[in-house]
Amino acid sequence: MPKYDRWLEFPEGVASEPDALSRRDFVSLVGASIALAGLTGCVRKPDREILSYIDTPPEVVPGQPLHYATSMTIDGYATGLIVESHEGRPTKIEGNPDHPASLGASGILEQASVLQLYDPHRAKAPRAGRTTTTLDAVRAALAPPALTRRVGARGAGLRLLLEPTSSPLIASLLNEVRTRYPDAAIFYLAALESPSSIIAARSTLGAPLAPQYDFSQADAIVSLDADFLTSGPFHLRHAADFGARRRRSPAAQLYMAETAPSPTSTLADRRIALSPSGIARIAAALLDAVQSPNATASLGEVPLSEPERAWVAAVERTLGVHRGRSIVLAGPRQPQEVHAIAYALNDALGNVGHTTWYSPPAVLDAGEQSHDPAAFAASLEQGADTLLICDVNVCYAAPADLDMARHVSAVPNGMYLGAYEDETARTTAWHVPASHYLESWGDARAYDGTLSLVQPLIAPLYQSLSVAELLGALAGLGTVNVHDLLTKEWGHQHAGADAATAWNDALRRGVVTDSSSQRSTPAVNRPAALDARRSIAPQTAAPNGIEVVFAPSHGVHDGRFANNPWLQELPDPITKLTWDNAALVAPALAATHDIQTGRVVRLAVGPASLDIPALVVPGHAADVVTLIMGYGRDGAESTARGVGVDANRLRTGRAPFAASGARLVRTGDHHALAITQSHWTTEGRAPSILGQAPANGETHATTKRRRPLTLYEPKAPSSTGFGADQWAMTIDLDLCTGCSACVVACQAENNIPVVGKQGVLESREMHWLRIDRYVDGNESAPRFETQPMLCQHCEKAPCEYVCPVNATVHSDDGLNEMVYNRCVGTRFCSNNCPYKVRRFNWFDYNDELAETERMAKNPSVTVRERGVMEKCTFCVQRIRRAQIDSELAHEPHVRSVMTACQQSCPTRAIVFGSLTQPESEVVRLTNDSRAFSALEELGTVPRVRYLRRSSDSSPATDGGRS
């Protein structure tokens, strides 16, 4: 029996396991790890020194958070992050300004990943068969002496499946594995990855290259189904560049052709809704129009409808004007022909080398056979004995016709490294918990090739391994120390005395300087491009039946984040759907099939069929159904389990992202969809809400800040001390994509609880910041507009005078403050808030949290109890900290403070600052001619000012028919 004091810090078996574990030892270990998980104040330091981002204090000052740079990889591509840590607990994730894929911003997945670390449903110990085992046993089973007996000396029976990876460390470990087992087969799988862009590059550019874009230099952008501002490995960078360009006048033109409205399309100047075959046709027509007429004359004209013709003509005109300064890009899941046409168009327009160029893909073996799930399935049938799956939930995410679960379970000796006991864990004999990236060392490349390091902020919470540690065991290195492997490799590449300095610098900054891939500007092989053009046959004009598009979920990606409650409760930017997926259909299709939102439809493609609730989306292409992937999970993770429907059941390995000839039948069932905003239009209130010009032809009513009539002059702010700064925010609606990174950032920063599907159905979601989405115009061709809505911090706040107990009051520096412990919960303030941004704790939402989940709470922000109101505070905790710092430095004003939403915003649409600092950006924008206050006529004098869309009058969507 271990002594009690040994339970507190590092009990035996957490750092290194005993060789043989008795049942009694196991019970005490599990008990200790549970107890450890409960010790929220306990520091769990990584076992090697890690370095803080900018200036490491000599010692940790309690209450002062530290910041460390690290990287998170999704589908193999890294995004540089800076993680805030409170006494050893990582709590908040921000973008790394030095990292090219972030530039300081962060996306929803990065923001929410911290909650994944503390997920109570994570697997906690390795398992062999049905019995719990140890990591040493796992390593022993993988070690060459044991393994060669099974897979043969050359490893002919060994199969490896990994997530696509860009890590040099993993690459060298895989090489070691290959050296030892030359006949082993290695595969990569990411459910949302399509090899088509690389394959198209190989055929048209002569090499497997990845296209790179610089949106900050583009005057015209044509997106063929590419949601480049809010999805993909480099979207934060693209959004930042796009935002920088959009600030300059004249604005860049953005043309979109897509199936379901995407966040990017909310900023489009001209959008057309098309089926997948329609996108291919319009791409072909665009190539015909841009190239010299005789080049494609022999191929015959592509049949186009009137709106399509108008769109192509407008795009062609614009592209003609902006030769060399435009970008044509195809969506990642478009077929290779469309990619080839996009490359050819950029080539023909002279964009290559200016706004676009190419570089070798960052991930290993991109576009190779090893990335093909069908090839993987086939290899399992050919004498596979041992299968090692690293962090890929292949049995869920692969197309259903590959029958991956059967293949994997047929392998005699399967081992799965994964964070959860999910669908794949069920089919393998071994399950090894995977370490979270905040628990492990590593490295990874960004989409442009820039190398960054992954440094852990916390020792593994459970008995888990990282991919590198598992591969180390497989390569016969035994218990590897990844940190040492990294520094050894670093030493090879950075000879000389300053290698250690450079290492420290790379750790601190989170980026290895000048490590991005070589740019190349290959010419397009014209015959290959024409082949692609030719293969888009004219008969695609009339596809039979309904087409189906498989689209990633905005929140849970390919399903791997499905157990993350923040992401489940994050409203989709367009549909505002939470806690579910749906079949998105156009109003026209809904009308012909008599479908309403929430009505369950049966969608059949070939032999497979799926019952899924429909969601009618204005601006969706007609005769197409978009199925959202990532839901219908069936693993042991109880948050994800049973939420939504698994769209993979209709996918095929041959055409994994689109299908045609589908049949749609209405069933009698109804499914309640938790939608946070069910009204699409502004009900004619756009002038008041969005600052648009009134329909009667008057100009914008108010551009100046207007004060309500009062007998008294407003009190002048004091020049020094508390109140010398007057906080205000501006939000540029020209730059807001609705990507919702700010929503998750706010949730993480401010300890905002999750209410669950039932809570959302009852309209009790707690988000302090929400994104309102409105559509304008007709149903099939609407204009979208998004508006982040948060507490407006009204100078004449309607909530304040109705509170009977003075629980919401105004601070001297212009904040509308909420005093939680004074609130009795009359909710009168919410009734009188015209923006309805106040949230009420209907239940004790924090009572249900697991001990580990409590560790994710930000200690600088009160966790609210049942029965009190809460709302956006302008991140008052950050303001006060900055204020203390400036007071200590004897500065009269607070110099720099960023709210969480502002910090995460990829396009920098949100600006925060003090109105009393005349040089500040917020003052300039507050007085901008586009600035307006929402519901200005009510006289609430909000401190949040919006900058209205400057592209008010531009044409919107072209016809909805494909």
Partner 1 sequence: MSAALEPYPVLLDVLDDGTLTTELLAPNWTPSRRWWPLFAISGALSILFFVAIGVTVARGIGAWGNNIPVAWAYGIVDFVWWIGIGHAGTFISAFLLLLNQRWRASINRIAEAMTLFALVNASLFPLLHLGRPWFFYWLIPYPSTMGVWPNFKSSLPWDVAAISTYFTVSLLFWYLGLVPDLAAARDRAPGLLRRRIYGVFALGWRGRATEWRQYRLAYTLLAGLATPLVISVHSIVSLDFSITQLPGWHSTIFPPYFVVGAIYSGFAMVLMLVLPLRRAFGLERVITAQHLDNMGKLLLVTGSMVAYAYVCEAFVAWYSGDPFERYTMLFARPLGPYAVVFWIMTTFNVVTPQFFWSGRLRTSPLALFIAGVLIWAGMWMERFVIIVGSLNRDFLPSSWHFYAPTWVDWSLLIGSIGLFSFLFLTFLRWVPFVPVSEVKRLRFEEQRDARVPVGAANDAA
Sites of contact with partner 1 (CB under 8 A): 677-679, 681-685, 688-689, 762-764, 770, 772-774, 787, 789, 798, 801-806, 822-828, 830-832, 834-836, 838-844, 866-869, 934-935, 938
Nearer of residues 562 and 743 to partner 1, judged by Cβ:
743
Token pair 């004790």 in the structure block, residue: 844
Q: What distance, in Å, lies between the first and last C-alpha atoms of the chain? A: 72
Give the single-character DSSP code of 693.
P
For 922-953, b/e burial (b = at least 16 CB within 10 A) is bbebbeeebbbbbbbebbbbbbbbbbbbebbe
Nearer to partner 1, 633 or 948 (CB): 948
How far CA 75 is from CA of 78, 364, 507, 739, 806, in Å, comes to 9, 11, 22, 19, 50
> Least distance (Å) from partner 1 to the CB of residue 580?
17
Which one, 74 or 807, has the nearer CB to partner 1? 807
Cβ distance 226 to 364 under 8 Å?
no
Give Cα separations from 148 to 137, 160, 183, 184, 390 (angstroms). Answer: 16, 15, 12, 11, 20
Cβ 244 to partner 1, closest distance in Å? 29
Smallest gap from residue 823 Cβ to partner 1 (A) = 7
Considering beta carbons, is residue 384 or 755 the nearer one to partner 1? 755
Instruction: Determine the Cα angle at 78 with ends 352 and 122, to 5°.
Output: 150
Nearest-approach distance from CB 873 to partner 1, in angstroms: 17
The SS3 assignment for 824 reads coil
Q: Which is nearer to partner 1, 543 or 798 (CB)?
A: 798
360 or 798, CB closer to partner 1? 798
The candidate with the shortest Cα–Cα distance to 757, out of 630, 550, 581, is 581
Hey, what are 573's tokens?
Answer: 């930017």
Q: Which is nearer to partner 1, 6 or 801 (CB)?
A: 801
Nearer to partner 1, 158 or 690 (CB): 690
Among residues 41 and 684, whose Cβ is nearest to partner 1? Answer: 684
SS3 561: coil
Q: Is residue 119 helix, strand or coil? A: coil
Q: Are 744 and 108 in contact (CB under 8 A)?
A: yes
CA angle (597, 600, 604) in 5-degree steps: 120
- The tokens of 703 are what? 């551009």
DSSP state of 764: -
Among 169, 94, 67, 90, which Cα is nearest to 508's?
Answer: 67
Backbone angles phi, psi at 426, to 5 degrees: -70, -25
CA 762 – CA 756 distance, rounded (Å) = 10
By beta-carbon proximity to partner 1, the closer residue of 525 and 826 is: 826
Q: Which residue has the tokens 């200790």?
A: 32
Structure tokens at 136: 């040493």
Structure tokens at 678: 């069910």
Question: What is the C-alpha to C-alpha distance for residues 270 and 254, in angstroms, rounded to an integer?
Answer: 7
Three-state helix/strand/coil letters over 638-689: CCCECCCCCHHHHCCCCCCCEEEEEEEEEEEEECCCEECCCCCCCCCCHHHH
Nearest to partner 1 of 327, 746 (CB atom): 746
Give the helix, strand, coil percentages of the chain, each rounded to 5: 30, 20, 50
Q: For residues 223 and 688, which CB has a smaller minimum distance to partner 1 in the complex? A: 688
Residues 96-135: b if buried by 16+ CB within 10 A, e if exposed = bebbbbbbbbbbbbbbbbbbbbbbebbbbbbbbeeebbbb
| Residue with tokens 């490491």, as numbered in its chain | 56
Helices (H) and strands (E) in the chain, counts: 29, 37
Q: Crossing angle of helices 526-535/336-348, nearest 10°?
A: 130
- On the 0-12 / 13-18 / 19+ scale of CB atoms within 10 A, 649 is middle
Q: Which of 569, 274, 860 is nearest to 286 (CA)?
A: 274
- Report which of 224, 286, 315, 271 is spatially closest to residue 951, judged by C-alpha positions: 271
CB of 876 or CB of 934, closer to partner 1 = 934
Q: Which is nearer to partner 1, 195 or 598 (CB)?
A: 598
Strand ordering across the sheet containing 77-86: 66-74, 77-86, 89-95
Q: How far is the CB of 837 from partner 1 (least distance, A)?
A: 8
Closer residue to partner 1 in complex, CB, 675/781 = 675
**Residue 153 or 805 with smaller CB distance to partner 1:** 805
